[in-house]
Amino acid sequence: MIKEKTNIAVFISGRGTNLKALILRSNKNSCNYKIAFVVSNKKNAAGLKIAKKNKILTKIISKQFLKAEQKKLAKILINKNIQFICLAGFMKILSPYFLNFFKNKVINIHPSLLPKYKGLNTHHRALKAKEKFSGCTIHYVSKKLDSGKIIAKKKVKILKKDTIKKLEKRVLKEENKLYPIVLEKLIMS
């Protein structure tokens, strides 16, 4: 019997390399998930083009994203039988009200080895602190920023000649590899 693929929503704000990596993996027959919906809080996010090219439904949310709109979006996602929401460069904090609709179903990828360097400018801060390693972390989203239970991490060695850009590029490459693998495992478990 062919098992149906699990429906996933991805929330973005920008260029969408992680979204693209998740879609590429999902296009394989053996993959256990399907990206069924993409949400962006930025109408010009480059990632939206990737979604459209792959014929994935998209929705733009407003800057305010008040409770009524949150409830409406939650209903749409529930009706589409979305089992996980993957935040992929989504630079907006989701309210406890919204998260309550999707308990243990919202995950995020963050460009540092959490609990170190929550928030913004992670690469700059890791370099300034002369860390030997940086990397990325996938974690459950909780009410506190970048603080939910950790699911997986990937270390990246910091090199002597590293700049923010060089380090970001190497970490992003690992993010793009890690996210699809972890999502598949999470669905299997």
E strands in 1-158? 6-12, 33-40, 57-60, 82-87, 106-110, 133-140, 150-157
6, 16, 154, 180: residue in contact with ligand GAR (rule CB under 6 A): 16
CB 87 within 8 A of CB 106: yes
Residue 111 near ligand GAR by CB under 6 A? yes
| Among the listed residues 74, 86, 94, 110, the single contact to ligand GAR using CB under 6 A | 110
- Closer Cβ to ligand GAR, 81 or 121, answer by number: 121
| Rounded-to-integer distance, Cα 128 and Cα 25, Å | 35
CA–CA separation, 9 and 177 (whole Å): 18
**Identified binder of ligand GAR from the candidate list 5, 7, 15, 101, rule CB under 6 A:** 15
* Window 39 to 98, contacts with ligand GAR (CB under 6 A): 47, 88-89
110 is catalytic: yes
Query: Which is it for the CA torsion 154, 160, 164, 165, positive or negative?
Result: negative
Q: Among 23, 35, 51, 109, which residue sits at the site for ligand GAR (rule: CB under 6 A)?
A: 109
Distance (Å, rounded) from C-alpha 159 to C-alpha 179? 24
Q: Which segment (14-22, 26-34, 60-68, 74-82) binds ligand GAR by CB under 6 A?
A: 14-22
Residue with tokens 């460009």: 111
Does 134 engage in binding with ligand GAR (CB under 6 A)?
Answer: no
What residues make contact with ligand GAR under the rule CB under 6 A? 12, 14-18, 47, 88-89, 109-111, 172, 175
